[in-house]
Structures are given as structure tokens and as C-alpha cells.
């Protein structure tokens, strides 16, 4: 096993991680000619609906750097949408995958099982919030995990209705499109959607008066559910403890706890979708940990397996075991190679204390982002937790979203070799999700670029 961080003597202070020197290098305009040629091929070969944020074609990645076909090295503030938390090609992930791929690549766990699947479930049961007895099941994608959480909740409660929130994002399958709030680009023209999904207001502190604190926002949502749906019809309340695609919205303190308490008193399952916020990203292993909220079911994916497709549903043993044998599964769910990757990723998170690294990233980034907001009134809000941070861009002095300026800032970052992502219902949030193993000098350099992009 090699260390994640290997100081490269010949490169002075610049470390090399997973074979990639941790420095930004711009050899061509972004995207360079080779990337542009590949983008032309992409346009002819790939369905137009599969969009690309930044058309630089990657040949290698490690730590906090992506290397493209033109030899450019970009600082990564996206982690492939919160996936490469342990870094790309992280040593323990690579080792686990290589060993597994030589042993066997697939049997289907439902046909002839293997230990890796069981070990990942044991790790999920141990790491997710709550000391109660748990069970887990593994799937391929976040959306599939959310679908299965709903199936399990309906089966256990014998109820149909599912509550979700404004600004929610839960995926792109038919059921999860129904659960996702934003129309464009996720839903437009793709209906009709699955039924029995009810949307209620989220706690969004930046966009509502101070008197709507966490408790008041919870009462608002609960009242709507009681009056418009009926608690007795609800199988589950599904919520992202920090919303991802919807704009990195952190609900006011007390909102999640009040909802969870009401769920528990009403026989409604509280389902935390931690697909984006989970696995060390927010400075705790899970975002629910921050408020001591213990969900009945939790969905995980993204950061779980260092880039290989894997997702999970974990929950109270009696709930998970209420489903008949054969009721859950799928051909590839919990594929042995993905499980080996997950075991390597989880070992990295624990042994290298990646929650602490996420908190350190917040320590570095938050004061700089706050200072930027103080200087530029178009930054209306700085929010997030750990290494899941964002700025919301508005017309100065108002709450009016400025998606155009957000896109311009992001484009300027891209041109300077910093990968940034936008999000938000109004497209006016710039989010920052660096790999948790990013060296500090790259975090600081990324912030320099962002500051110039905002000023420009
Ligand atoms: C909170 C949340 N839930 C579900 C999903 C869907 O995951 P996937 O894209 O793996 O299907 C995402 C993806 O961004 C997400 O952020």
C-alpha cells in the first residue's frame, strides 16, 4: 500500500498523488485542440441529451487535479459531482479493484454471493447514524437506492404516499423524477410521472424571513402534509439533510429534528437521502450526524466507492427485513468490483480521517468566501458545511437570482483551469466540492481563481 501523499523530491514542495503532480498547468486555452476534436466526435456519436459542463477530455486524475488530453492540469472543485471524495485512482481503491478484478468480476449476489457485498453492508450498518440493529442492500446508482428506499417504506408501512421538498433532487428514473423538484433539465417532456408524491416547502434560510426558523419551517411542512395528504397515508418523508442539486441549501437548525420527531410520532418513515452529502463530505461521516438526527432509512451512493458505481439503502433491521425474499436486488447491484472499491474508499476515509480533512477545507474556504461576499454584493449567501460549500449569486441588494452572472463566473473559472459546478433551482449557485485529499495549496489557488472570476 502506498501513501496517498508522496512528496516528489524533484518537484520541490509540490506533492504527487496517484501519479499526478499536484499543480495547475495550462498549456492551451481551455478546452484545448485535442479536447475540441473529441468534443466534435462526441457531438456526432453521443445523444445530445447527455450534456457536458466543461468539455476537457480527461486522461488521468489524482488528488485535487484532473489532467486532460492536451496536457492541461485543472484544479478539481467538483469531484465528478461529489464522488471522488477519496481522490481519483485512490491507492486503496485501485488495489482493491485490481485484486478483485483478477479474482472474479461478477456472479450476481442474488445467485451465488460473495464476502465483499456483506462487508460493505457491515460497514454501512456501522457507519450510518444510530446504534440500533441495521440491514443494508446494495444497488448501482443513487436513483436506484432512492427507488428502493420508497419500495421498502411502502412495504413496511402499507402506505402509498411519499413526501418530498421544494428544491429536492433524487434522480432521473421515473419515480425519482417525480420526487425531484426542478423541471429543466431533469423532467421537461419526460412525464407522466409516478403518483403519490407530495411536495412541501423546504427550510431555505436565505430566502425567507428570520422568523421562519427551523421549527416554524417544520410546522409549515407538517401542517401541509397533515391537511393535504394525511399522516396516516404517508409511508415516508424523504429529504436531503443538505440539498445538493437544489442549491446546497442547509435547512435552519431544528428543521430536520422536528420533522424526524413528527415522523416517529406519526408512523411515517424518515428517509435521509445522503447520496451527495454522505461519506465524510460535510465534516461528519453523514450530514445527519451534525444534528444528531437518526433516520429510519438512509440512501448512499457517490462518495461510497471512490468512483465506481455503487449505492446503498441502510435502515432499521425490522424495516429492511419486512420485504419478502427476492423483493430487492438487481443483476449488478453490489457488483464485486464496486464493493472492493467501496471497502478501499471507506478504509481511506477512516484511516486518513477524511471528515477532519473536510472540516479543514471549510476552515480554509469559508473565511475567503465570506470576505468575497462582503466585497461583492452580488454574492448574496455563503453556505454549506465541510467540503460541501456554495455561494448564491443575486442582483445586488435583492434576492433576485442572477443565473447569467453565475454562469459567467463559472466559465471564467473553467478558462483559468478550475473545475466548478453550478446548481440551484434558479441556476444561480456556484458549488464547491473538492476531493477531500486535495492539498491545501490547491484549495488556496482555486480560491484565488474564484476571486478573480468574481471580480472580473
Ligand atoms: C441527493 C441525491 N439523490 C439522488 C441522486 C441520484 O444519484 P445518481 O445520479 O447516482 O442516480 C443524486 C445525484 O446527484 C443526489 O445528489
pLDDT at residue 383 is higher than 80: yes
pLDDT at residue 7 is higher than 90: no
pLDDT at position 415: 98
Instruction: Give the mean pLDDT of the chain.
Output: 96
Beta carbons within 8 Å of 277's beta carbon, 6+ residues apart: 240, 241, 242, 244, 286, 287, 388
pLDDT at residue 312 is higher than 90: yes
% residues pLDDT > 90 (the chain): 97
pLDDT at position 409: 98
Ligand 1 centroid distance, CA of 162 (Å): 17
Atom of ligand 1 nearest to the CA of 245: 16
**Mean local confidence (pLDDT), 31-54:** 98
- Closest residue (by CA) to atom 16 of ligand 1? 276
- Is-contact 335 305, C-beta < 8 A? no
Using a 6 Å cutoff on CB, does residue 143 contact ligand 1? yes
pLDDT at residue 385 is higher than 70: yes
pLDDT at residue 200 is higher than 50: yes
**Mean local confidence (pLDDT), 398-424:** 98
pLDDT at position 214: 98
Phi and psi of 399, rounded to 5°?
Answer: -100, 5
Q: What is the pLDDT of residues 87-125, one digit of tens each?
A: 999 999 999 999 999 999 999 999 999 999 999 999 999
Atom of ligand 1 nearest to the CA of 172: 11
Q: Which helix (H) or strand (E) holds 339?
A: helix 336-351
Q: Which helix (H) or strand (E) holds 161?
A: strand 161-165
Ligand 1 centroid distance, CA of 320 (Å): 21
Q: What is the pLDDT of residues 246-305, one digit of tens each?
A: 999 999 999 999 999 999 999 999 999 999 999 999 999 999 999 999 999 999 999 999
pLDDT at residue 6 is higher than 60: no
Ligand 1 centroid distance, CA of 397 (Å): 33
Using a 6 Å cutoff on CB, does residue 147 contact ligand 1? no
Q: Which helix (H) or strand (E) holds 261?
A: helix 255-266
- Is-contact 85 344, C-beta < 8 A? no
pLDDT at residue 174 is higher than 60: yes
pLDDT at residue 240 is higher than 70: yes
Is 348 in a helix, a strand, or coil?
Answer: helix
**Mean local confidence (pLDDT), 378-401:** 98
Q: 8-12, 200-204, 227-231: which has the minimum mean pLDDT?
A: 8-12
pLDDT at residue 205 is higher than 60: yes
% residues pLDDT > 70 (the chain): 97
pLDDT at residue 68 is higher than 90: yes
Cell 396516516 identifies what position? 232
**Mean local confidence (pLDDT), 417-435:** 98
Torsion angle (degrees, nearest 10) of CA 63, 65, 66, 69: -120
Given pLDDT bands bounded at 50, 70 and 90, which one contains residue 13? confident
Is 205 in a helix, a strand, or coil?
Answer: helix
pLDDT at position 12: 59
pLDDT at position 104: 98
Nearest to 315 by CA among 341, 294, 330, 336: 294
**Mean local confidence (pLDDT), 230-251:** 98
DSSP 9: G
The span from the CA of 389 to the CA of 325, in Å, is 41
Bridge partners (DSSP) listed for residue 197: 162
Full-model pTM: 0.96
pLDDT at position 4: 36
Amino acid at each position: 500500500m502506498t501513501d496517498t501523499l508522496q512528496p516528489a523530491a524533484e518537484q520541490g514542495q509540490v506533492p504527487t498523488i496517484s501519479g499526478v503532480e499536484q499543480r495547475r498547468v495550462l498549456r492551451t486555452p481551455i478546452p484545448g485542440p485535442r479536447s475540441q476534436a473529441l468534443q466534435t466526435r462526441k457531438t456526432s456519436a453521443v445523444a445530445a441529451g447527455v450534456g457536458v459542463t466543461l468539455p476537457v477530455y480527461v486522461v488521468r486524475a489524482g488528488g485535487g487535479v484532473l489532467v486532460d488530453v492536451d496536457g492541461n492540469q485543472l484544479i478539481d472543485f467538483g469531484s465528478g459531482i461529489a464522488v471522488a471524495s477519496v481522490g481519483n485512482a485512490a491507492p486503496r481503491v485501485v488495489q482493491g479493484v485490481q485484486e478483485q478484478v483478477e479474482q472474479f468480476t461478477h456472479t450476481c449476489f442474488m445467485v451465488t454471493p460473495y464476502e465483499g457485498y456483506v462487508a460493505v453492508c457491515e460497514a454501512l450498518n456501522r457507519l450510518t447514524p444510530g446504534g440500533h440493529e441495521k440491514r443494508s442492500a446494495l444497488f448501482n446508482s443513487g436513483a436506484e437506492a432512492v427507488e428502493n428506499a420508497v419500495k421498502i417504506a411502502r412495504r413496511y408501512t402499507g402506505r402509498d404516499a411519499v413526501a418530498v421538498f421544494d428544491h429536492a433532487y433524487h434522480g432521473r428514473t421515473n419515480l425519482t423524477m417525480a420526487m425531484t423538484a426542478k423541471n429543466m433539465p431533469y423532467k421537461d417532456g419526460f412525464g407522466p410521472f409516478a403518483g403519490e408524491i407530495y411536495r412541501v416547502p423546504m427550510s431555505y434560510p436565505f430566502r425567507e424571513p428570520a422568523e421562519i426558523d427551523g421549527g416554524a419551517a417544520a410546522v409549515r411542512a407538517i401542517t401541509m402534509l397533515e391537511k393535504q395528504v394525511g399522516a396516516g397515508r404517508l409511508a415516508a418523508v424523504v429529504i436531503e439533510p443538505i440539498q445538493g442539486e437544489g442549491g446546497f441549501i442547509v435547512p435552519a437548525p431544528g428543521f430536520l429534528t422536528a420533522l424526524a420527531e413528527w415522523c416517529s410520532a406519526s408512523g411515517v418513515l424518515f428517509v435521509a437521502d445522503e447520496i451527495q452529502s454522505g461519506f465524510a463530505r460535510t465534516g461528519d461521516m453523514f450530514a445527519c450526524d451534525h444534528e444528531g438526527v437518526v433516520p429510519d432509512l438512509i440512501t448512499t451512493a457517490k462518495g461510497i466507492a471512490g468512483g465506481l458505481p455503487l449505492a446503498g439503502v441502510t435502515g432499521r433491521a425490522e424495516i429492511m427485513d419486512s420485504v419478502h425474499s427476492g423483493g430487492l436486488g438487481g443483476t449488478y447491484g453490489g457488483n464485486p468490483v464496486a464493493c472492493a472499491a467501496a471497502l478501499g474508499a471507506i478504509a481511506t476515509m477512516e484511516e486518513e480521517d477524511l471528515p477532519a480533512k473536510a472540516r479543514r477545507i471549510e476552515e480554509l474556504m469559508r473565511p475567503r468566501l465570506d470576505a468575497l461576499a462582503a466585497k461583492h454584493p452580488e454574492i448574496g449567501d455563503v453556505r454549506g458545511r465541510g467540503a460541501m460549500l456554495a455561494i448564491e449569486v443575486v442582483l445586488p441588494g435583492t434576492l433576485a437570482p442572477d443565473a447569467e452572472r453565475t454562469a459567467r463566473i463559472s466559465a471564467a473559472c473553467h478558462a483559468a483551469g478550475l473545475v466548478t459546478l453550478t446548481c440551484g433551482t434558479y441556476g444561480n449557485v456556484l458549488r464547491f466540492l473538492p476531493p477531500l485529499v486535495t492539498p491545501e495549496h490547491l484549495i488556496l489557488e482555486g480560491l484565488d481563481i474564484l476571486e478573480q472570476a468574481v471580480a472580473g
